[in-house]
Structure 1
């Protein structure tokens, strides 16, 4: 089961990369909630996806680079970097530690994300 949960997280992230918000949303329970380290507390999935669409629209492209993914019954914890290229060509990464909680049906019911944006300062 934990391998299935890990695969669901990867499918969810690929849907976000492809800007397929309907496919990502379909992997979540209706009552799912999201927490970020922005001090605003929990938000509904609808609010989360609205903000995500706005944020992702600032980028030319995004890619989730998963560094570590650990699963146990009912949840997946992972570290990843969201590699972004802005529409002006700036490159950077959003370093994150994320918990994905699942219900018995295998749907995401909770996302808890601690993230920090770091510009890419490497010379080309």
Structure 2
């Protein structure tokens, strides 16, 4: 595993792509069979379905940044990232969503699984401001 495929580097590129609104890069970081699980609906999505979220966020949240980032490597290809997503929502209201996300990255440097734990109240507030 080189520095480009190291799990922590892959996760850093993953979030940089989201901040940049670069869903093409984001899609390339996913393994084709990857699954994404969300605590807010207790559901799994494939990559195609999941990419709708960063596309929507890229169109609707200005100044999107991840802050207060803490990453923990587990040694088995997994990375835990805790952060706060910040930006300005569609109505002009500040957005602040705390999250913890567990990534599984294979030896080729592709994300095979994401388990996303979001503050559901903060997420609901973002969706509500977009109506």
TM-score, normalised on structure 2? 0.81
Which runs of 5 or more structure 2 residues have no equivalent in the other structure? Answer: 126-131
Aligned residue for 2:39? 37
- CA deviations on 1:6-47 (whole Å, 9 max, x unpaired) are 111111101111100001111110000000112241110100
| 2:82 equivalent among 49, 66, 79 | 79
After TM superposition, the structure 1 = structure 2 runs for residues 1-124 of structure 1, keeping only pairs within 5 Å, are 4-71=6-73, 72-116=75-119, 117=122
Instruction: Give the deviation of 1:57 after TM superposition.
Output: 2.1
TM-score normalized with structure 1 length? 0.85
Mark the runs of 5 or more structure 1 residues left unpaired by the alignment: 120-124
TM-aligned CA deviation for residue 77 of structure 1: 0.5
Mapped to 1, the partners of 2:93 and 2:77 lie a distance apart of 37
Q: Which has the higher strand share?
A: 1
Decide whether the 8 Å contact of 2:23 with 2:54 is kept in 1: no
Alignment partner of 2:17: what SS? helix
Greater helix fraction, Structure 1 or Structure 2: 2
Aligned length: 119
The answer (yes or no) to whether the contact 1:61–1:86 under 8 Å persists in 2 is no
